[in-house]
Amino acid sequence: MSSPNFIDYVKFNARSGHGGAGCLHFHREKFIQKGGPDGGDGGRGGHIILKGNSQLWTLLHLKYRKHVIADSGKGGEAANMTGADGKDEIIEVPLGTVAKNAETGEVLCEINSHDEEFILMKGGRGGKGNAFFVSSTNQAPQHAQPGERGQEAWVILELKLLADVGLVGFPNAGKSTLLSVVSAAKPKIADYAFTTLTPNLGVVSYREGLSFVMADIPGIIEGAAEGRGLGIRFLKHIERNSLLLFLIPADAKDIRQEYEILLNELRKYNPELLDKKRLLAVSKSDMLDEELRAEMARELPEGIPSLFISAVTNQGILELKDLIWKHLH
């Protein structure tokens, strides 16, 4: 997933098709001058439909599409012929996409599986032709229904990445380096803060052909839940992760304090995030000797499984995969 092409928010105007008008017609042919009503019904207007596609990872294909309009149904015809339905407008979206009403903020649906469909806007119903209104007291109705108008609204689509493991940490904690080592993902890596500006996904190979998906999001800073830094924009991607892997570098001033700050930002953004399983990995541990590592281990936060790793030397990487797999299953 290349950074410039990762789009996780789009807003567009959606309008379903109008229903076709019913037909007002009476049967006429040679030797039958006063045939009965035979006006057909109008066709249904096209729906606006969201459909899940597991091959998509971004909303980029919808970035410049500001209007989504479905076709209207055709009008009914003589000889009781029903008009054709309007063509549905199908919008394919990545898994983890949430649709909201832009004006009310109401969540309309969430697409979480391949080929899952949701009718975002229903097309208008077709009007009834005059043949429908025939009764014992009215053998020649002189009216037919117009088609029902389609629905229209501004819609917001937000993508929340679906991943097994979400990397949580401050900028420059080594998250992108870890993802590049354990998967085929190639995130941008540099020795300065906020190298990662968009989320990255990687498939991590495990033993005997097994695998799990890991997500690297931009670093969180203190105050991210109030909008500081880049964190508030991407904290939503953590909501879909099964497990949170906190990454704190070995050269941090106070590992326990940094962990509490990160935990507090998640708590302020969404308290339910604290219900997720959590692991702690101390990165850049190749700079530590055995004595210093043992001393630091005594100062690590309680109640969370932890280990020391180094993505540069592959130290502890296999043990980290084992620990992640154990907690995922």
| Average pLDDT over every residue of 33-58 | 92
Q: What is the mean pLDDT of the chain?
A: 85
Q: Domains plus CATH for the chain?
A: 1-159 (2.70.210.12), 165-328 (3.40.50.300)
Indicate if the pLDDT at residue 324 is higher than 60: yes
Indicate if the pLDDT at residue 232 is higher than 80: no
Strand partners, 200: 216
* 30 CB burial (10 A radius; 0-12, 13-18, 19+): exposed
Q: What is the pTM of this model?
A: 0.69
Q: Residue 288 — φ and ψ, nearest 5°?
A: -100, 140
Provide the H-helix boundaries in the chain. 175-182, 231-234, 255-269, 290-297, 317-328
Is residue 288 very low, low, confident or very high in pLDDT (cuts 50, 70, 90)?
confident
DSSP state at residue 5: G
| Average pLDDT over every residue of 58-67 | 90
